[in-house]
Chains A and B, each alone.
Chain A
Amino acid sequence: MHEMGIANSILSGVAKELQRRPGTRAVKVGVRIGELAGIDPDALSFAFEALTLDTDFAGLAIDIEYVAPRSRCRECSHEFEVRNYELLCPACGSLSTERISGDELEFKYLEIEESDSDETPCAEPQVAGSEVAELRTAESQARELEVGEK
């Protein structure tokens, strides 16, 4: 059960992102998790909720995209999603395929809105053995995009 540590690392990443965006608060954070990453999405959601309860992050939603592994065929270079550990290339029938992804544990996006108060939650969440995620922020900022009200 290391989902608590993972949830804490996600919050650290969110806190860091918010520090760069004064006057905003986080509404939802999106992460991508591979089926081979060894993370249980339900346990992670539970840990995330428990960690944020009664903190500045209360109500922050987590959107977990749980992705199947992908393989590439060595014969015909076709890339395909792997279901039930199937090795067979669906394009040419070759068994000579290699797994190219499946253990992702990465950030996707953060939904933010203007915060009501001047106070920006920026304190690092406190959990033993915590990780502080760093983000490639300049690039993220450059590609900032608007998706409108939901």
Chain B
Amino acid sequence: MNRVPMEGKVLNENARVAAELRERFCEHRVLVVNLISSPGSGKTTLLEKTLEALPRASRVAVLTGDLQTENDANRLKRYGFPVKQIVTGGTCHLDARMIEKHIADWDLSQLDMLIVENVGNLVCPSSYDLGEAAKIVLLSVTEGEDKPLKYPSIFFKSELMVLTKTDLLPYVPFDADAAIANARRVHPEMEVVKVSCLGGDGLGEWMSWLERRKQTFLSTLSQPVG
């Protein structure tokens, strides 16, 4: 029997499409962020607050993924920015090809930022690169503070953890410091923003983070390669 070496990533096809997308996003200077969380952690609500807070002239678009329905896109369209729903029909994550297909008729040169809301799922979306500059994970205070340890993959790959629903902290036995410490055990460089979409606390910090991330993204583009 012969054993022959095999090389390459198992998800090479997704990686290839994602690399093409990343190149296009860089060429057009579009910051792409990929929001990932369990169902019900508040991705769509955070997006609503984000779009509401953005100046009308902002060149921002949104792709939102779900197994079924156009509900989220309808919620988000009210803010006047381009929004498209990706209905996966049962697939538990977005992949690079879905992004490629859904941005096909958008003129990327007219955008500065694209926010992708992944399917609510803490596991599968972490395996699929969408060509984004940054993954952002949301954790709500009604979940367990040990979730970063139970689902390390997505916390390992995310730059920022947004702790949501902080207005509920007085009513739930959630230790925010422990949750943050757990996230940093998996990913020591993890940045953290705490927000309450209901009360508005922390939204300013979240918007500043996005703006800062955009500047970092643009500055990496202007640096010579190598």
Instruction: Please list the residues of chain A having a beta carbon within 8 angstroms of any beta carbon in chain B.
Output: 1-2, 6, 9-10, 13, 17, 21, 24, 27, 29-31, 35-39, 69, 85, 87, 97-99, 102-103, 105-113, 128-129, 131-136, 139-141, 143-150
Contacts and interface: CB of A to CB of B under 8 A. Distances in A.
Given A105-B127, A147-B1, A98 B189 contact: yes
Contacts of B2: 24, 111-113, 144, 146-147
Chain B contact residues (Cβ within 8 angstroms of A): what range?
35 or more
Contact of B1 (A21, A111, A143): A111
B124 interface: yes
Given A106-B10, A131-B14, A134-B13, A144 B127 contact: no
Given A37-B127, A38-B127, A135 B7 contact: yes
Given A105-B127, A112-B1, A147-B2, A136 B8 contact: yes
Contacts of B16: 134
29 contacts: A6-B127, A9-B11, A9-B12, A10-B10, A13-B12, A17-B6, A29-B6, A35-B152, A36-B153, A38-B123, A38-B124, A87-B185, A98-B189, A99-B156, A103-B156, A105-B11, A106-B7, A106-B8, A107-B9, A109-B3, A109-B4, A129-B91, A131-B14, A133-B11, A134-B8, A135-B7, A135-B8, A145-B5, A146-B2
A144 to B, nearest CB: 5
Contacts of B32: none
A99 B188 contact: yes
Interface in B173-219: 185-189
A123 to B, nearest CB: 17
Q: Which 10 A-B pairs have the closest CB atoms?
A: A38-B153, A107-B6, A85-B185, A2-B124, A131-B13, A147-B3, A36-B156, A38-B126, A133-B12, A135-B8
A145 B4 contact: yes
Given A38-B154, A113-B2, A134-B12, 7 more contacts: A2-B92, A36-B157, A110-B4, A111-B1, A128-B91, A133-B9, A150-B1
B117 interface: no
A144 B92 CA distance: 38
B93 interface: yes
B103 interface: no
Interface of B: 1-14, 16, 91-93, 95, 123-124, 126-127, 149, 151-154, 156-157, 185-189
Contact of B6 (A2, A37, A110): A110
A136 B7 CA distance: 6
Contacts of B188: 87, 97-99
Contact of A27 (B1, B124, B154): B1
Contacts of B93: 2
Given A113-B2, A133-B13, A37 B153 contact: yes
Contacts of B152: 35-36, 85
Contacts of B186: 36, 85
Nearest to A133: B12
Given A85-B149, A134-B12, A109 B1 contact: no
Nearest to A30: B6
A111 B188 CA distance: 39
